[in-house]
Amino acid sequence: MTDTKKSIHGEWSSRSAFILAATGSAVGLGNIWKFPYITGEHGGGAFVIVYLLCVALIGIPIMIAETLLGRRGRENPVNTMQLLSAEAEQDPRWQYVGWVGMAAGLLILSYYSVIAGWASAYVFKAFTGSFFNADAAAIKQLFSDFIGSPLQLIFWHTLFMAATLFIVARGVDKGLEKSVRILMPGLFILLILLVMYAMTTSGYFQGIHFLFSFDFSKLTGNAILIAMGQAFFSLGLGMGCVMAYGAYLPNDISIAKTSIIIAAVDTLVALLAGIIIFPIVFTYQLNPGSGPGLIFETLPIAFGTMTGGWLFGVLFFIILVFAALSSAIALIEPTVSWLVENRGISRQRASLQAGGIAWLIGLATVFSFNAWAAFKPFGLTLFDLIDYVTANLMLPLGGLAIAIFVGWKMKQQHSAQELNIVDPEYFKLWLMLTKYLAPAAVFLVFLHVVGVL
């Protein structure tokens, strides 16, 4: 199918462009915000080892599967699943895998933009010295006052969404590719600068020991399932992004090799974030298991105390913004491509429509922290509800369906044609992981998050 067909949106100019774009879609707030604090909550190094195994045995096989679907279909996720289910002589309702992924991406973007807005605001707070000599109570009050102001949150949410739409509206080559060629190298330069700073702190070796020491007595069954879920969600699977980006991948680029590189770089960013954060945490005698508040309520205490803290605070929150922006453009791309292909409108108009929907839904997250904080359907704020439904229900189901479709429904000669793996043993290994291990593991994660396990 892909011998002659090409996406109407264009192609990545090279393998490096695709790697940067796909890595950008995977690298996000989950790597820099979530990974360090869940590592802190579950004992450090042993958790990291399980996480790495899950990336290798579950994340990479599903990433390969989702990418090959995108390249074979060459259209948006919904159309791709329609085409490939017909090619495989399967039930046309497999197209709902594309619908679920596309909807999940838009919903995630709605609150992702709000949280990225927090990071954007904190760049300026760090720059203007808002953290200077502030104690824990003052930092906590600063954050509480900020999220308690709907106008401030809407302003930063709007600013971040506008930046996202500006990039996406410019297309694959001038928008997506050009932006990641700036954002991803910039992200790594900033990470390296902060790693170099972390190496000068008194808590550096204590932080490294915490991150890489292997005390498996601290590893519970619950922690293993969380590591599995984090590995899956960190790579951005099941939300249509990988499939959409795969549609722009030239035929002569190896899907398997690039997927391994992308997963490796994504994991490296998460580990570098840990190498930066934990030495600072131990230097200033903070709590490594302080949960989601580690970034916005704990680290600013250190930034306000350390020499040159305003600079390192600015750099750290710029990293968060860069990571969030590279993911945001991927989250909206499936919907934009669907609107262009199925509604026949321009990419600029499609970007505005998709972004407008995500922006409006994002207001539910904004008000969840202030005016609507007491409104809790199913015992959750609207932000927590959207997060739960997407991350814990829609994405696992999407990843499970992709593994089942490619492993069990798609014809093996078609997947072999897309992967073009020279050694048949490697193809058999990937197929075995995709057919058996990955679906079983994702199913276990799903049972865990819905409370069955």
Instruction: Give helix 255-283 / helix 60-73 axis angle, nearest 10°.
Output: 130
The torsion defined by the Cα of 251, 257, 258 and 262, in degrees rounded to 10, comes to 160
First to last CA, the chain: 42
Cα–chain center distance at 28: 5
Each residue's pLDDT expressed in tens, for the chain with a length of 453 residues:
545 577 888 888 888 888 888 888 888 877 887 788 788 878 788 888 999 998 999 899 999 999 999 999 999 999 999 999 999 999 999 999 999 999 999 999 999 999 999 999 999 999 999 999 888 889 989 999 999 999 999 999 999 999 999 999 998 888 888 898 898 899 899 899 989 989 999 999 999 988 888 777 777 877 887 887 788 778 888 888 999 999 999 998 999 999 999 999 999 998 998 898 889 888 888 877 666 667 888 789 888 888 888 898 999 999 989 989 999 999 999 999 999 999 999 999 999 999 999 999 999 999 999 999 999 999 999 998 998 888 878 888 898 999 999 999 999 999 999 998 878 899 999 999 999 999 998 888 778 777 776
Most distant CA pair in the chain, distance = 66
Taking CA 219 as the corner, what is the angle to CA 215 and CA 222, rounded to the nearest 5 degrees? Answer: 170
Spell out the domains of the chain, with CATH numbers in brackets: 15-449 (1.10.4160)
Residues 6+ away with beta carbon under 8 Å from 233: 30, 391, 395
Residue 417 gets the label, from left (phi > 0), alpha (psi -120 to 50) or beta, of: alpha
Rounded to an integer, what distance in angstroms lies between the CA atom of residue 308 and that of residue 326? 28
* Cα–Cα distance, 212 to 269 (Å, whole number): 15
* Structure tokens that stand for 146 in this block: 């900020």
What pLDDT does residue 81 have? 97
Contact 50, 219 (CB under 8 A): yes
Tokens of 300: 């600013």
Residue 292: predicted pLDDT = 65
Phi, psi of 301 (to 5 degrees): -60, -45
Of the candidates 68, 27, 47, the one whose C-alpha atom is nearest the C-alpha of residue 325 is: 27
Residue 77: how many CB atoms within 10 A of its CB?
34
- 10: region left, alpha or beta (phi > 0 left; psi from -120 to 50 alpha): left
What dihedral do alpha carbons 413, 395, 160, 35 form, nearest 10°?
-100
- Count of CA atoms in the C-beta half-sphere (13 A) of 441: 30
The Cα 125–Cα 129 span in angstroms is 6
> Whole-angstrom Cα distance, residue 339 to residue 331?
14
